Amino acid sequence: MRIKQIIGEIVMFTESAEYIKKYINIEPEIGIILGSGLGGIADVIENPVMINYKDIPNFKTSTAPDHLGRFVIGRLAGKNVICMQGRLHYYEGYSLEDVVYPVRVMKLLGVKTLIATNAAGGINESFNSGDIMLIKDHINFMGNNPLIGKNYDELGPRFQDMTYAYTPKLIYLAEQCAEKMSINLKSGVYIAFSGPSFETPAEIRTSRILGADAVGMSTVPEVIAAAHCGMQVLAFSLIANMAAGVTDKALDGEEVIRIAQEKGKILQQLIIEILNNYN
Ligand code: HPA
């Protein structure tokens, strides 16, 4: 019974991937997850094919504000890409297995490298709103892990190593590109909370003591699933606000999204430059 159920779930990923394949004539090599306010990069994809999550068999759809809920597949900076314009969040009530479902479908479509982006709160006091932080490592504070449950041996191992989850050679490439573009790229550790309430000032102070530089409600599950199925990973946080208690200012979710939209352009340009130099 259990085995049947597991085989059934792998068939689910395949069904979703087969549906998408019917509409595209390229094999996407790079998957890009566009975080809150960062959807603009999908608008510059050449020959885009758009597929709404709601039309894909076995897919769940995002309810988060400013998240469209579709794949955009095409060419960007000479590479075949598949962009997620909108992701699923744990705080929407999905299981983490649902949250990472699209990553596994992208794997079946041929994706080898995942570029994940998010809007985040700055914990490191040397950061400013509008900064871009290259994520070099993470702290999973969500209280859950997408790999809990029976392991999909076809995708990866039971005990996934996370030492090099953020691919060192892609980190190096991103740093080189940022330098060339005179972007003051910050780097650091991302801590993920479940949300949807923002953190308390005490939680942010605790996070700083633990070594975190930025805080958010996403990315960590997808990075774990991507590492598990053997993808290379590069991830960025756009610092949309300083985290709770870092300044006197209270947090406003709508303002966070507005600032991410306003300041997301440079991150888009950086990703395009990275793709131009990716091989
Ligand atoms: N906390 C958590 N998630 C966020 C924040 C924050 O301060 N800013 C943007 N996403």
In tens, the pLDDT along 46-82 reads 999 999 999 999 988 766 665 579 999 999 999 999 9
Is pLDDT of 230 > 60? yes
Residue 192's SS3 state is: strand
Query: Closest ligand 1 atom, CA of 260?
Result: 9
Cα angle 16, 157, 221 (rounded to 5 degrees) comes to 60
The mean pLDDT value for 33-55 works out to 90
Decide: 242 in ligand 1 pocket, CB within 6 A.
no
In tens, the pLDDT along 195-225 reads 999 999 999 999 999 999 999 999 999 999 9
Nearest CA to ligand 1 atom 9: 120
Q: Name the residue of 89, 124, 142, 241 whose CB sits within 8 Å of the most ligand 1 atoms, as the mutation to test its pocket.
A: 241
Q: For 44, list phi and psi in degrees, rounded to 5.
A: -105, 10
Decide: 238 in ligand 1 pocket, CB within 6 A.
no
Residue 62's pLDDT is 67
Beta strand pairing status for 214-216 and 232-242? unpaired
Residue 189's pLDDT is 98
CATH architecture of 2-277: 3-Layer(aba) Sandwich (3.40)
Compute CA 100 distance to the chain's CA centroid, rounded to the nearest angstrom. Answer: 10
Residue 12's SS3 state is: helix
- Closest Cα to residue 259, out of 51, 120, 78, 62? 120
Residue 219's pLDDT is 98
Residue 64's pLDDT is 62
Residue 39's pLDDT is 80
Nearest CA to ligand 1 atom 7: 121
Residue 67's pLDDT is 59
Taking the C-alpha atoms of residue 165 and residue 161, their distance in angstroms, rounded to an integer, is 8
Residue found under tokens 């709508």: 254
Is pLDDT of 13 > 50? yes
Confidence of residue 7 (pLDDT cuts 50, 70, 90): low
Q: What is the pTM of this model?
A: 0.95
How far does residue 49's CA lie from ligand 1's centre (Å)?
31
How far does residue 121's CA lie from ligand 1's centre (Å)?
4
Decide: 192 in ligand 1 pocket, CB within 6 A.
no
How far does residue 233's CA lie from ligand 1's centre (Å)?
21
Is pLDDT of 4 > 50? no
